[in-house]
Amino acid sequence: MAGKIPIAKTYKLFIDGAFPRSESGRTFSVNNSEGELIANVSQASRKDFREAVRAARSAQSPWASRTAYNRGQILYRVAEMLESRKPEFLELLKSIGVNNRVATREIEDSIQRLVWYAGWSDKYSQLLGSVNPVSGPYFNFTVPEPTGVVGIIAPTEPAMLGFISRIAPAIVSGNTVVVVSEAQSSLTSVTIAEVLVTSDVPAGVVNILTGDQTDLLPWMVGHLDVNAVDISGISPKTDLTHLEEVASNVKRVVSRSVDEESLELISDFLEMKTVWHPIGR
């Protein structure tokens, strides 16, 4: 058809289930492997981060109080939705320079990983929790509870698998997350957001800020309402002295390799609560 107008997608942030532009109005450009412009992407500011944390906080308690089974089903649903959008992700990964074979593998692994974590939703607490012997007329239980709001610096490479690998172990147990996604990886992150909104993931459980991690990291570690930070995707250019600020409210700091897939990764974002319960007669 002659004169067809190209319709390019606007890549925006993902906060509280909606796709707003950055409050700052800033954008950054993402080029393909040939150096041509693919997209202008919203660049999140500290105020966008503040809004994202607010959304994550209000979503956290309802998300954690869903049944483990339900959270597992929703994660599984995300995998289903990814499955049906494989070609789109393949194109996207190829455009940022991943070759066909590697990209196909990465998408497959991402889906498998989601299903793997979905299966854990109603099993991790049996393995991590315990009934403890005590010398007194008490039942003594230790039960895992979600840490709360988790700030994640997503790995830039592999873009898709890195993102999925970091959010899945956090949200499966009832945490909510604010993810900072940089540079080329921001395209897949925003596209995953489109998958999340159609997968019954409640608004605010996953919030995605595309932008510069050096801008946002100081606000993330300093924010008193963020309970843990995952710096798996931190880049060498980022000033690590900021991390000292996690002491302000004793945040958990987590850093993992993208290749890992284990129960331990779920327990990174869990707090152990021990309860003494009198034995009645």
Partner 1 sequence: MKMPTSNITFGKTGSSIKVIPVDEVSLEARAASLATRSIKTSSKKAALHLTIRCIDLTTLEGADTPEKVASLCQKAKRPDPSNHDVPSVAAVCVYPEMVHHAVEATRNSKVKVASVAGAFPSGLSTIEARTADISDAVKRGADEIDIVLNRSAFLSGDEQRAFEEIVASKDACGEAHLKVILEVGELGSYDKIRQASMLAMAAGADFIKTSTGKIPQASSLPRVLCMAEAVRDFAYQTNISVGIKAAGGIRTAKQAWHYLVVIGETLGSEWLNPEMFRIGASGLLNDVLLQLNRLDSGSYSGPDYVTVD
The residue ranges that bind partner 1 (CB under 8 A) are 50, 53, 57, 219, 222-226, 245, 248-249
Joined together, the tokens standing for residue 10 give 């606007």
The residues, any chain, with a CB within 8 Å of residue 49's CB and separated by 6 or more, are 178, 209, 216, 219, 220, 223
Paired with 2 in beta bridges are none
Joined together, the tokens standing for residue 65 give 């109080």
d(CA 175, CA 254): 14
Contact at 8 Å (CB) between 221 and 245?
yes
Query: For 195, phi and psi rounded to 5 degrees?
Result: -70, -40
d(CA 226, CA 87): 36
